[in-house]
């Protein structure tokens, strides 16, 4: 669903207005100073449309040094949502703080709706017009307390929200989670699919009843249905001749495009090949979650396995974050461990770290290990926000250039401290001013 952030300086009535929008009975949310409220997003419905409301009131008391930094609050809102509602106290008029925030919002590409709150009676209505000076278009008079004008405000807001959700909204999960089964020819993809399908209580054709080839296979594992995408060739065990590598990589590409998580099969009875690495590179570039299955474990004796595991450790350092499972598609050994690994990877891939928690963590990390001085200047890391999930993507705001080594350090600690097992994590740095 599209996402809307409600921003404004403290005490303008953001939380009360959020309650109006989401139709909750309690008039006021209890604000506890110094305590970060993690739950700041709410699902709402108006005029038959669903959308998500983010109450930035929950952002205020977090991360040291950011308190009351309304420009930062607005900037964060713009980064993570589809539209922004700025709330102003009409009984006070536009303050310098309001103007600073409006300035940031005017620069954004996102639609902004201006709510003139606390218009509790006719006397204040006249003051509303003065808010045009903020340069955010028509101010919409509303009384979060009495509900007056809130219908009109919601109509205006829905008109501003995009019809289709953006990348920030995360999308919904409709139907089974989508898995791509990847690996070089003869690594055991068909065997594994057949094994999983054979073990499952019911195998359903994704497009049952049609005469064309079903492309996907629905496989039930432990009561949960998974959609293995682009499996037509696999189920028919079409064997690829040499020189078919181009088509194999094309297949990998299309499968990845429709999948959320990939299982990359590797033949553990042989050394890792360049072709294996190419498949892994494609998964990394696609930003999908990843589980590595080391197949044909039945061909490897215990002694050999130790050596080959050490080699794999070295060859697969760039995907250290992915789970590796020794399986045998032939005997069915350990194939039951695949579903839990897929679940873990997807859970990491979907995850959103609440902004308050993220910045609390960041402040501590930076205090312990500050960014290295560069050209006589110490760059400061102002705050971080998770701009997207699937895969988790973070934006760091800084006052200067961060060295690659330090960026990697933050990335690694993010991954470790928040346990993003099985998912790539992206970190972008934005220098302000
Ligand atoms: P695909 O091309 O990746 O679909 O590979 P296949 O599933 O067709 O497997 C290729 C060959 O490897 C077949 O002869 C399989 O029987 C064999 N195979 C697959 N998995 C295993 C396994 O775990 N152990 C052993 N020993 N052979 C396997």
Tell me the pLDDT tens digit for each residue of 135-178: 898 899 999 888 888 888 888 888 888 765 443 333 444 568 99
| Cβ neighbours around 331 below 10 Å, total | 12
> Which ligand 1 atom is the nearest neighbour of the CA of 295?
23
Q: Which of 244, 297, 329 to mutate to test the pocket of ligand 1 (most atoms within 8 A of CB)?
A: 329
Looking at residue 366, its pLDDT comes to 93
Q: Is the pLDDT of residue 259 over 70?
A: yes
Ranking 12-21, 37-46, 116-125, 359-368 by mean pLDDT, the lowest is 37-46
Residue-range definition of the domain harbouring residue 118: 3-169
Report d(CA 150, CA 33) in Å as an integer.
28
Which CATH number fits the domain that encloses residue 374? Answer: 3.30.300.20
294 and 411 fall within a common domain = no
What is the rounded CA–CA span in Å between residue 300 and residue 21?
61
Q: What is the pLDDT of residues 188-234, one digit of tens each?
A: 998 999 888 875 544 444 444 333 445 778 888 877 888 898 887 67
Among 48-62, 165-179, 226-240, 250-264, name the one with the lowest average pLDDT: 165-179
Q: Are 127 and 218 in a shared domain?
A: no
Shared-domain flag, residues 379 and 284: no
Please state the three-class secondary structure of 387-410 as a single string. EECCCCEEEEEECCCCCHHHHHHH
The torsion angles phi and psi of 322, rounded to 5 degrees, stand at -90, 145
Contacts of 100 (CB under 8 A, 6+ apart): 70, 71
Judge if 105 and 7 occupy the same domain: yes
- Phi, psi of 54, rounded to the nearest 5 degrees: -110, 120
203 & 301 share domain: yes
CA contacts within 13 A on the Cβ side of 112: 26
CB of 31 sitting under 6 A from ligand 1: no
> Which of 169, 204, 238 is a domain's end point?
169
> Does the Cβ of 298 fall within 6 Å of ligand 1?
yes
- Mean pLDDT, the chain, integer: 81
pLDDT in tens, 101-126: 888 888 877 889 999 999 988 777 77
**What band does 339 get if pLDDT is binned at 50, 70 and 90?**
very high
Number of domains in the chain: 3
Instruction: Tell me, yes or no, whether 260 and 391 share the same domain.
Output: no
Same-domain status, 122 and 264: no
- Looking at the fold, whether 337 and 385 belong to one and the same domain comes out as no
CATH code of 207's domain: 3.40.50.300
Kindly state if the Cβ of 251 falls inside 6 Å of ligand 1: no
Of the residues 350, 382, 415, which one is the last residue of a structural domain? 350
From the CA of 185, how far away is ligand 1's center (Å)? 9
Co-location of 346 and 359 in the same domain: no
What pLDDT score was predicted for residue 422? 96
- Best residue among 181, 183, 188, 242 to mutate for probing ligand 1's pocket (most ligand atoms within 8 Å of CB) is 188
Same domain, 236 and 199: yes
Q: How confident is the model at residue 18 (pLDDT cuts 50, 70, 90)?
A: confident
Distance CA 281, CA 182 (A): 12
CA of 240, closest atom in ligand 1: 2
Q: How far is CA 129 from CA 12, 116, 119, 147, 162, in A?
A: 17, 9, 12, 20, 27
- C-beta of 16 in contact with ligand 1 (< 6 A): no
Q: What is the pLDDT of residue 263?
A: 98
Which domain-ending residue is among 327, 350, 373? 350
Are residue 9 and residue 131 in the same domain, yes or no? yes
Adjacency order of strands within the sheet including 139-141: 41-46, 49-55, 3-7, 83-89, 112-117, 139-141
Query: Count of CB atoms within 10 A of residue 376's CB?
Result: 5
Question: Does 61 lie in the same domain as 28?
Answer: yes
């Amino acid at each position: 669903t599209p996402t809307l952030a409600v921003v404004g300086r403290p005490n303008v009535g953001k939380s009360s207005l959020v309650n109006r929008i989401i139709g909750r009975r309690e008039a006021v949310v209890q604000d506890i100073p110094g305590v970060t409220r993690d739950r700041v997003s709410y699902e709402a419905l108006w005029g038959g449309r669903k959308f998500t409301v983010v109450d930035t009131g929950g952002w205020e008391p977090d991360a040291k040094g950011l308190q009351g930094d309304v420009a930062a609050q607005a900037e964060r809102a713009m980064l993570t949502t589809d539209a922004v509602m700025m709330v102003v106290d009409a009984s006070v008029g536009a303050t310098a703080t309001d103007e600073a925030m409006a300035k940031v919002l005017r620069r954004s590409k996102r639609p902004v709706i201006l709510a003139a709150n606390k218009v509790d009676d006719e006397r204040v209505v006249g003051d509303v017009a003065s808010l045009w000076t903020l340069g955010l278009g028509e101010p919409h008079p509303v009384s979060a307390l009495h509900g007056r004008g809130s219908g009109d405000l919601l109509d205006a807001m829905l008109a501003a929200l995009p019809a289709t959700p953006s990348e920030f909204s995360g999308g919904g999960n409709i139907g089974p989670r989508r898995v791509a089964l990847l690996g070089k020819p003869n690594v055991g993809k068909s065997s594994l699919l057949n094994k999983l399908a054979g073990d499952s209580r019911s195998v359903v054709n994704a497009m049952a009843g049609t005469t064309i080839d079903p492309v996907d296979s629905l496989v039930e594992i432990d009561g949960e249905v998974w959609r293995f995408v682009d499996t037509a060739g696999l189920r028919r065990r079409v064997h690829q001749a040499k020189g078919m590598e181009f088509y194999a990589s094309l297949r990998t590409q299309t499968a990845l495009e429709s999948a959320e998580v990939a299982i990359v099969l590797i033949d553990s009875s042989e050394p890792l090949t360049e072709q294996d690495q190419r498949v892994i590179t494609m998964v990394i570039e696609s930003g999908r979650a990843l589980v590595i299955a080391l197949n044909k474990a039945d061909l490897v004796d215990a002694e050999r396995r130790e050596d080959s595991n050490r080699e794999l450790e070295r060859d697969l350092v760039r995907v250290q974050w992915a789970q590796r499972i020794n399986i045998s598609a032939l005997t069915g050994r350990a194939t039951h461990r695949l579903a839990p690994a897929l679940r873990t990877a997807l859970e990491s891939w979907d995850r959103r770290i609440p902004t308050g928690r993220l910045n609390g963590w960041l402040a501590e990390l930076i205090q312990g290990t500050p960014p290295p001085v560069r050209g006589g200047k110490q760059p400061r890391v102002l705050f971080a926000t998770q701009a997207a999930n699937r895969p988790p993507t973070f934006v760091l705001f800084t006052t200067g250039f961060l060295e690659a080594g330090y960026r990697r350090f933050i990335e690694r600690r993010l991954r470790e401290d928040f346990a993003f097992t099985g998912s790539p994590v992206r970190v972008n740095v934005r220098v302000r001013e």
